[in-house]
Each structure stands twice: as C-alpha cells, then as structure tokens.
Amino acid sequence: MTSALYLEHYLDSLQHLPIELQRNFKLMRDLDDRAHGLMRTIDLMADELLPNIPKMDEETKKEKVNTIQGLFNKAKEYGDDKVQLAIQTYELVDKHIRRLDSDLARFESEIQEKVMSARAAQQAAADQETSATTVKKGRKKSKINDKTAATTGKKKRAGASSEDDAAASGRSAAKKKAVRKGATATANTSKENEESADLDSVAGMAHPSDVLDMPVDPNEPTYCLCHQVSYGEMIGCDNPDCPIEWFHFACVDLKIKPKGKWYCPKCTQDRKKK
C-alpha cells in the first residue's frame, strides 16, 4: 500500500473525530457548570445554616443537613460523569493515535521490504554480471593459451623442419665431396689428403650431429638462411639493414672469411637491383 492510500484511509477515520470531541467537551462543560452551580447553592445554604443552628430544633437542623448532603451527592455525580467523559475522550484520541502508529509501522515495514528486494535484485544482477565477466575472461585466457600453444608448436615444427633440411644439405655436400674424392683417387697422395682434409672441414662446418641433437630453446634467436640458432663459424653481412645479419659458413658456401666486405645472397640481389 502506498503512502497516499495510508493517508487517505487515516483521514477517513478522522472524519467524525472533531464532532465527537466537540460533543464530549460540551457535555463536560455543561456538567462542570452544573457542579459549580450546586457548590454555590451549598455554600449559600451552609452560610444560612451555621448561624441559626443553635435556634433550630433537631428535626429542622437534620432536614437542612440532609438537603445540603443531597446537593453534595448530586455535585459528585456531575463530577463522576465529567471524569467518565474525559476518559472516553482520551481513549477516543488514543485509539486514533494507536492506529496511526500501526499504519506507520506497517508502512515502514513495506518500505524496508521493498528496499531489501531492490538490493537483493541489484546484488543478483551484480553477481550475474561478475560471473559472466569471469566466464568471458576464462574463455579469453583459454583462447590465448590455445593460441600460444599453437604458435609454440608451429615454431617447434618449423625448427625441426629447418634442422632436417640443414642436416640433409650437410649430408648431400659430404656425399658430393666423397664422390669427387673417389673420382680423383688416381691423383697423388698429397692431393688426396688435401681433398680428404677439405671433406672433413666441410663436414665439420655443416650441421654436426651433436648440434642437431641438442635441445633447442624456443626463446633463443635464430639466424642464417636455415633459420637455426648460432653455432660453429659464422659471418656477418656488412649491410646494416640486413634482416638476418649472421650466416653459417656452410650455408653460404664459405670455408674461410673473405677479405673486404661481404654481403649475403639476399642483400647481394637487392644491391644488383638498385
């Protein structure tokens, strides 16, 4: 129930209260006037009786006293009626006060219930929003983890593929050197020894098995055309803008460091185009 309805009902209950209060107050004033009139009469009779008591006989004196006593009893009745009217008037007003207190208590209780319901609804909405945010964050984190795992797996697979290609390249180069060595077996022993030494040097500069078998740190930077980590002898490109910078001797067909400036195959092609 709204405050307007409470006020309307309470004002309806107070509609007859002023009339009842006015009637009771009028009756109490009338009773008070009657009681005061009787007291004045009693005073006059007492003033008349007291000086003449010695002259009166017993029967007359008794009659006068009984008359005064009756007036006193009547005044007392008027006073009792006035007290009863005052009590009724107090109870009438007190009844409306109690009703007002009861209506106020119920109204405050309804307001508190509405406030608690609104707070509970807000808390439920906030909890639901927090839960949804947590779920979204969890999904986002899961997607990020999945993406990171996929990227790491791609890098590892790319590294392994590059290592396999580099190993195959080294083995192919070694095989070619061995063929050349067999074809020139009729040459002198010193030349055969030099070719054997060259073969061993090339095999050493290629991707050695111990390097290929070493575990690769995914965070370690890679270089060269083979996209492998740094190992063995390497040479740096003299182009300051070279995206790769460093190259393995074997990957660029070098045995020793050349004199002067050296440019990688990609930078050499770019310089020729310019």
- Six token digits for residue 69: 């006593």
224 is in an annotated binding site: yes
As a whole number of angstroms, the distance between CA 86 and CA 79 comes to 10
- Six token digits for residue 38: 């009787």
- Paired residues of 248 in beta bridges: 234
207 is in an annotated binding site: no
Of the candidates 77, 78, 52, 76, the one whose C-alpha atom is nearest the C-alpha of residue 65 is: 52
Q: Where are the beta strands (DSSP E) in the chain?
A: 234-236, 246-248
Count of all residues that appear for the chain in the document = 274
- Six token digits for residue 109: 């209780």
248 is in an annotated binding site: yes
Q: Which of helix, strand or coil describes residue 137? A: helix
16 is in an annotated binding site: no
Q: 178 with 199: CB under 8 angstroms?
A: yes
Q: Which of helix, strand or coil describes residue 218? A: coil
9 is in an annotated binding site: no
226 is in an annotated binding site: yes
251 is in an annotated binding site: yes
Which parts are annotated binding residues for Zn(2+)? 224, 226, 237, 242, 248, 251, 264, 267
Which parts are annotated binding residues? 224, 226, 237, 242, 248, 251, 264, 267
